[in-house]
Chain A
């Protein structure tokens, strides 16, 4: 499998905490990677570093061999769905996507296409984003990530706020994206909903990558929850 994302010695220190501590990993095309770990493990910081929002203290992230900020048409390479809570309240969902499509140099018909992909009806997309439920915000954020039909898709807690139909849609999409050769990285607490879709599981704890394994290797008894709990407990040296 072709490596699309390479993280080397990534460290991010804030004044009070080390969010990422010398993390190195590779993500491959055609695979769904599930990033798990307890609260504060560094999952979101890792995704933000991948998307160029967080400046590493040391180490590097390259996507198709280049830092994200050096990629010529970045929307075609990486699509990131992070934190759906914050959306411009007065702009409609469609206007929000149109602004992003313009910034990415994409034709505006793409806005209608991604709205259809994520299942956002036109009348909902025409409403102000401030009126949206969390699930609708999640779909809009996902639509924004898909605007450029990217090769690498990064999702942070994508099931938050989604109803059962939304979760089912997402599960299908994860496999479809990987089947089409895309690299998918999902950070999620919803192991029961997404673990079955994953090819590899990356476990972060206290900013360190403590396991990077095929899901079947980790989940040998069919219970990823228990396997992860055991792994994290062993890491701590006792029950958590």
Chain B
């Protein structure tokens, strides 16, 4: 398993989507952190800034995971690896673990950047313990979202389709559902992610971070199993 994991890490490193993805994520996090203050003189609550960074990190991790797995299926990498290591579950497991690790890196970077934007603005930040808790929640959420994205890439087999579904789900479907019924939304991946980063609401019950983490982990596990089962039974051209 170690060599397959090392191979998948090498594949991710040489695919050349991780660095542009991280850079794009960094730009979004900085813009969402700075833009309201710079453009409108409106200073956001530091916690809200960190939560915004967590959302961008989670979606970035999902996109990177999906683009990696669907891209590998389409450009022949998956097939080439299967010819030297035909145990399919081993390969998929390694790929999901790499997406998990990459997502954790994306989440940690996003939390640091989001907090830095407040320092740049000279705004009083959150206590260190709160920043650490939100940062940890962001890293965990992004890592689990990385697995969700990687599984989506395997299931959809098409990088563009997977990316469209992820963006539409995250930025259209889930927000729409939250306006209809927040009690349903908080058990969806987006709601679970908000719980993980310690979202506070005066109007709705928000499950504790641990519960949010378990809900998101459940989605990631279910998606990983579905991807592994589908891939094991699929013919590769």
Contact = CB atoms under 8 A, between A and B. Distances in A.
Given A99-B11, A144-B80, A52 B86 contact: yes
The size bracket of the interface on B is 20 to 34
B75 A55 contact: no
Contacts of A51: 82-83, 86
Given A54-B236, A103-B81, A147-B84, A88 B76 contact: yes
Contact of B80 (A69, A74, A100, A102): A100
Contacts of B80: 96, 100, 144
Contact of A89 (B75, B88, B237): B75
Which of A71, A78, A91, A148 counts the most B-chain CB atoms under 10 A from its CB?
A91
Nearest to A106: B84
Interface residues of A, number: 36
In the complex, which of the residues B15, B75, B88, B91 has the most CB atoms of chain A within 10 Å of its own CB atom?
B75
Contacts of A100: 7, 80-81, 83-84
Interface of B: 3-4, 6-7, 10-11, 14-16, 71-72, 74-77, 79-88, 91, 233, 235-237
A187 interface: no
A102 B143 CA distance: 24
A78 B83 CA distance: 8
B84 A104 contact: yes
Nearest to B235: A54
Contacts of B87: 69
B235 A55 contact: yes
A80 B235 contact: no
Interface in A33-65: 48, 51-55
Given A90-B15, A91-B14, A74 B84 contact: yes
The 9 A-B pairs with the shortest beta carbon distances in the complex, nearest first, are A86-B76, A103-B7, A104-B84, A102-B7, A75-B84, A53-B236, A88-B75, A69-B86, A52-B86
Interface of A: 48, 51-55, 68-69, 71, 74-75, 78-80, 82-83, 86-92, 95-96, 98-100, 102-105, 144-145, 147-148
B233 to A, nearest CB: 7
B39 to A, nearest CB: 36
Given A54-B235, A82-B79, A99-B10, 20 more contacts: A51-B82, A52-B86, A53-B235, A54-B236, A55-B233, A55-B235, A68-B86, A69-B88, A78-B83, A79-B83, A88-B72, A88-B77, A91-B16, A91-B77, A96-B77, A99-B7, A102-B10, A104-B85, A144-B80, A147-B84
Nearest to A79: B83
